[in-house]
A and B are shown apart, each in its own frame.
Chain A
Amino acid sequence: MHRLMIVDDSKLIRQRIAREYDADTFELIGTAENGADAIDLFEQSSPDVVTMDLTMPKLDGIDCIEQLISRDPSTKILVISALNDTSIGIEALEKGAMGFITKPFSGADLKAALKEIIDD
Chain B
Amino acid sequence: MKEENLRVFLSSIVKYFAHTSDPSVNVGAPYLVDEIKDACKDYTGLISISGDYNGVCYFSAPAVLLRHLILSVGETDTSESMMLDAVGEVANTLSGNARKELGKGFEISAPHITKGLPTMETEGEGNRIYAIPIQWKSYKAMLGISLH
Using CB atoms and an 8 Å cutoff, list the residues of chain A in contact with chain B.
9-13, 15-16, 19, 55-57, 81-85, 87-88, 102-106
Which residues from A are CB-within-8-Å of B74?
16, 19
How long is the Cα–Cα vector from A104 to B109 in the complex, in angstroms? 18
> What 9 A-B pairs come out closest when comparing CB atoms?
A82-B96, A104-B19, A85-B99, A82-B93, A10-B89, A84-B100, A87-B104, A84-B97, A83-B96
In the complex, how many angstroms separate the beta carbon of A1 from the nearest chain B beta carbon?
24
Known interface pairs A10-B92, A105-B19, A106-B19. Does A88 touch B99 (Cβ–Cβ under 8 Å)? yes
- Within 8 Å by CB of A104, from B82, B93, B110, lies B93
- Within 8 Å by CB of B85, from A12, A57, A103, A105, lies A12
Residue of A nearest to B81 (CB): A11
Residue of B nearest to A58 (CB): B110
Tell me which residues from 83 to 97 in chain B have a Cβ below 8 Å from any Cβ of chain A.
Answer: 85-86, 88-89, 92-97
Contact assessment for A81 and B88 in the assembled complex, using a CB-CB cutoff below 8 Å: no
How long is the Cα–Cα vector from A104 to B94 in the complex, in angstroms? 9
Q: List 12 A-B contacts (CB under 8 A).
A: A10-B88, A15-B77, A16-B75, A55-B109, A55-B110, A82-B92, A85-B99, A85-B100, A102-B96, A103-B92, A103-B93, A104-B16
How long is the Cα–Cα vector from A86 to B40 in the complex, in angstroms? 33
Contact assessment for A84 and B96 in the assembled complex, using a CB-CB cutoff below 8 Å: yes
How long is the Cα–Cα vector from A15 to B108 in the complex, in angstroms? 23
Contact assessment for B99 and A84 in the assembled complex, using a CB-CB cutoff below 8 Å: yes
